[in-house]
Amino acid sequence: MHAALVDRAKQGDAEAFDALARKVGDRCMAIAFRILRDADLADDAVQAALITAWHELRTLRNPELFEPWLHRILTNACYAEARRRRRWSEGIRLLPVEPVHGPDDYLTVDDRDQLERAFRRLTVEQRAVLVFHHYLGLSLSEVADRIGIPVGTAKSRLHHATRALRASVDADARAPSTSQERMA
């Protein structure tokens, strides 16, 4: 889809790469935000991924595969950002979850709260598999290929992550009170 721009960028055309980045940037941001659950960290991860992509672009064989290739770079950038945050935030209490607004009324405030907390307890590697599978709608083999891991590993990460999230939802459903009541 972006092959012509990729080809020009591979020739060192910064203008073309800038145009390319603007075509794929929002999607990268959506992925990074969902993995990292933090807009500033996601900004940094996307920025790092795009700069790496520029530097390595000539190693990309098939321009048609630019976006999957970039997503793998982005995933690694997310891992790096998550590690960086862990290093300097150790011992600091988790900040309150910022409310996010979306179109699906299926989620209650309690659902969001429970899922957000459960999601943050997952490893960043598990989150990445969840995001590529449930958000981008990729099959497990596509997820494995996109992230650069064996299919068995992707399956295992998805299984554990999904189980943890389901458990949080189920626990909430069984609870007789709302989160506000529990906090009171």
Name residue 23's amino acid.
K
Q: Which C-beta is closer to another protein: that of 131 or that of 143?
A: 131
Please classify residue 112 by burial: count the beta carbons closer than 10 Å to its beta carbon, then call 0-12 exposed, 13-18 middle and 19+ buried: middle
Rounded CA-CA distance 93/173 in Å is 26
CB atoms within 10 A of CB 36: 25
* Binding of residue 95 to another protein (CB under 8 A): no
| Radius of gyration for the chain, computed over Cα atoms and rounded to the nearest angstrom | 18
Q: Which C-beta is closer to another protein: that of 63 or that of 93?
A: 63
* Binding of residue 16 to another protein (CB under 8 A): no
CB 182, min distance to another protein, A: 19
* Binding of residue 160 to another protein (CB under 8 A): no
Q: Tokens 């458990």 sit at which residue?
A: 167
CB 140 within 8 A of CB 133: yes
Where does this chain bind another protein (CB under 8 A)? 10-12, 14, 17-18, 21-22, 25-26, 28-30, 33-34, 39, 42-43, 46-47, 50-51, 54-62, 100-104, 106-107, 111-112, 115-116, 119, 130-131, 134-135, 148, 150, 162, 165-166, 169-170, 173
